[in-house]
Structure 1
């Protein structure tokens, strides 16, 4: 049998097994579900380093040390946020309405190569917390590390009492397999994290989907900001796992009066400003002739990127910076770059910076994330009211703030971009996005109450029925 046919059959088998398992799991109490989640988190903690090293070696993206932290974030940090979350059975009761958590069924979890093991951990945990089963579709370039991650979670869940087949993972990774997973009638919801084409396919599959678009967040350093701290946060973010988190900064915008100070601080902290020839060389390496990003740049260090594009830079270089004036799809520096590369724009004032950031987001990244460093609350609020983003992060690293690591946003590896970004939600995705709520509502009024008619105001005396009817009709006509 052809490989694509084998992969399609595998998906159908996984979904059938998961459907049977989920129907049993749907009868579990909140306590039983929470015990399974706890045991999965406790087990995965023992493998964070191994899985991080597997992901870094298999994909060539980022560095394993930062991937350990991402795995920990997607398990232990996430667990602290969801452990007391009510998702099963009666959720709350007030005003004669009871809300009941209802699992969706089977979640199709599409996993990217940029954050493979952490995203797999996160999606399996939030799916099961909401009472669902889950079938994982690994990115082919991160297949082994994702399969190993799911295997560990699956065994831990089974030991804790989860039905066999509740967690599945595709071994024969093909486009046909992923398509079958998305379109199969047993799939209840697609949770899609990855490239723009894949997310579009999820939304056009005919199955309900939650997807995320590309990030391309600018970072505005406003004149009242602590410049040294702002630069530190931006470079911390852009170098974390070599910039593969989509919420990381892609451009820096400054006002004219702050330009010199910010540039000096960037250079002091390890940023290298490219000259025109160097910028052209790197730009040609970043953007391919078909207008898409070169996958060879993803998750590489600044030194490696310089080497690949034929540029000599100091050995302490952390980030490559290109000073720009143009924003367009043809300018690689004004696009999403999942690597330690930044564009640098200078504007006359904060109003012009505001316009520039909107221009950047309209090219790519609408609905995702933006960062502002400022102590001026009026400016911050002006940005909040105007920017087409779902997350405006203030005085924090973009990569870690967007996912909820250095902010109080919900911890998540899937960040909704809202309608403006082509997404079905603007939330950081949690178990609450993977469940339906059934509402039981008691009657609190009668038809007469809605019409403003009180039964007690009309009484029929003996022999006067006709008069009563006329009075009721007259009252109704006069309202």
Structure 2
């Protein structure tokens, strides 16, 4: 009975949040660029001031990642994001094509639903709140139950900062009593115009089946290929920096390292020198058993954990200072557990003959969970980078840390914590999601071509064509008549 009451309260709370946010959004839709920028700047300020406290809350509540890295993510999702979007036109006339006489006008999508993962709860909430308001949308969040407190706190901070700068009350909301019934209610309620889903595959699929527009992201199972011309020391440094960043909780983090035979020993020694530990087959099996439950579903207790914590749980001994664990795999799929996504400090390790074999292996890994997302390449040969651009992903990250590169921290990509995987990965977009994905565009289009003359004279053409069609052939006289008609029309239009 108690559970039944909770579910009812949860659904009712969700309905109230959606109704209130929808009313608030109708008011926000009337705001001009200056008003919106003032609101967004205050939200950024609040996120910056609370970056550390929110990071501490997230680590304490979920056990995932590191405070210093979550602090960086909170700042990246606000200050760095703002620098990228501050001049982005999202209100009123956003483009005028004087040649083709088309004017584009931005309109808000309406009320958004934001699904938030437990791996990046506060940064995702900050990011989605800011891009929603920038496009004059309201947003209601559905938090992951294991990150409830920190997600609610981030949403409250964003709401209060927005309201303090002039936004309508209730423009940002967050479910405080999460349940599957509440999430489903929010997905399907009439007030919600679009869903932005960041989370597990099941949740993203549910968002796409809710019967309304959705922007979802698929899993990342990023292969990292170290090609023979690569700067090996730099490549290994980038991979370790990426995989240890927040203990591998970003979906763009590397999952497998692929090296060519000719540089295998050099790569292995470099990993060892920089804090990598190569597990024996027996140790790899022990760690794999701890990493996964029910086949290849990630064990939540091992997500975002340090190499030391994972080793201790698996009962293996590793050298002090170990940063990542590497396990060699001979194949992909069932029987090769490290070939699946691992949002923690563990990497699969593969050795191949050449770059063609690396290409084939990368494709198999991507189709094992991660198609459409990202691939990482370390090479000094531009031709190799171009060859890998043919792979079924939408982010080809060259000579950089994949985690930071994918979200736009170390590359020129848009700063984002929602990374689309395109139709290959079951997503509606292949982009890093920005405010431009959260607007509707209406167009005023003037006539620039006069077709009335063609329309008025079209019966004569159809008449001759009909005559030819009846007889099944066309005579020389009919051909001559058609030619004369065409020439006559051209003369009238001044084209002959």
- What is the TM-score with the length of structure 1 in the denominator? 0.94
Specify every segment of 5 or more residues in structure 2 that has no aligned partner in the other structure, as ranges.
459-480, 491-496
State how far apart, in whole Å, the 2-side matches of 1:388 and 1:202 are: 23
Tell me what 1:359 maps to.
364
Instruction: Give the deviation of 1:92 after TM superposition.
Output: 1.2
Matched, 1:85 2:88: yes
- Which residue in the other structure is 1:421 paired with? 425
Cα deviation digits, residues 328-354 of structure 1 (max 9, x gap): 144221000000100110111111111
Please state whether the residue corresponding to 1:93 is helix, strand or coil.
strand
What corresponds to 2:434 in structure 1?
430
| Structure 2 residue matching 1:250: 3-state secondary structure | strand
User: How far apart are the structure 1 equivalents of 2:248 and 2:222?
Assistant: 12
Residue 207 of structure 1: aligned partner: 212
Q: Indicate whether 1:411 and 2:415 are aligned.
A: yes
Distance 2:318 2:413 in 1: 37
Residue 166 of structure 1 and its aligned partner are, at CA, apart by 0.9
Alignment of 1:19-418 (within 5 A): 19-94=22-97, 95-385=100-390, 387-418=391-422
Deviates more, 1:281-290 or 1:139-148: 281-290
Name the SS for the 2:301 alignment partner.
helix
Q: CA deviation at 1:248?
A: 0.3
> What are the superposed Cα offsets for residues 192-212 of structure 1, whole Å, 9 maximum, x if unpaired?
000010001001111211101
Secondary structure at 1:188 match in 2: strand
CA distance in 2, matches of 1:23, 1:329: 51
Separation of aligned partners in 2, 1:113 and 1:296 = 12
Separation in 2, partners of 1:452, 1:321: 75
- Is the alpha carbon distance of 1:471 and 1:393 closer, same or farther for their aligned partners in structure 2, counting shifts above 3 Å? closer
Q: Structure 1: any 5+ residue segments left out of the alignment? A: 455-469
In the TM superposition, residue 45 of structure 1 has moved relative to its aligned partner by 1.1
The verdict on how the C-alpha distance between 1:277 and 1:22 changes in structure 2, with shifts beyond 3 A counting, is same
CA distance in 2, matches of 1:422, 1:85: 27
Find the aligned partners of 1:452 and 1:388 in 2 and give their Cα distance.
Answer: 50
Alpha-carbon distance change, 349 to 32 in structure 1, aligned in 2, over 3 angstroms: same
Note closer, same or farther for the CA distance 1:66–1:445 as it changes in structure 2 (3 Å cut): same
The number of residue pairs the alignment matches comes to 463
Instruction: State the Cα deviation string for residues 199-236 of structure 1 (Å, max 9, x = none).
Output: 01001111211101110000000011100000000000
The Cα shift of 1:255 comes to 0.6
In 1, Cα distance between equivalents of 2:82 and 2:130:
8
Inter-partner Cα distance in structure 2 for 1:230 and 1:176: 46
Give me the TM-score of the superposition, normalised by structure 2.
0.91
Structure 1 residues 49, 383: closer, same or farther in 2, change over 3 A? same
Judge conservation of contact 1:329–1:363 (CA < 8 Å) in 2. no
When residues 179 and 377 of structure 1 are mapped into structure 2, their CA distance, relative to the original with a 3 A threshold, is same
1:252–1:25 CA distance, 2 compared to 1 (3 A): same
Distance 1:50 1:450 in 2: 70
Q: CA deviation at 1:246?
A: 0.5
What secondary structure, in the 3-state scheme, does the structure 1 residue paired with 2:374 have?
strand
SS in 1 for 2:349: strand
Residues 2, 447 of structure 1: CA spacing in aligned structure 2 closer, same or farther, 3 A cutoff?
A: same
User: 2:447 is matched with which residue?
Assistant: 443
Distance of 2:247 and 2:484 partners within structure 1: 76
Residue 14 of structure 2: aligned partner: 11
Partner SS state of residue 332, structure 2: coil
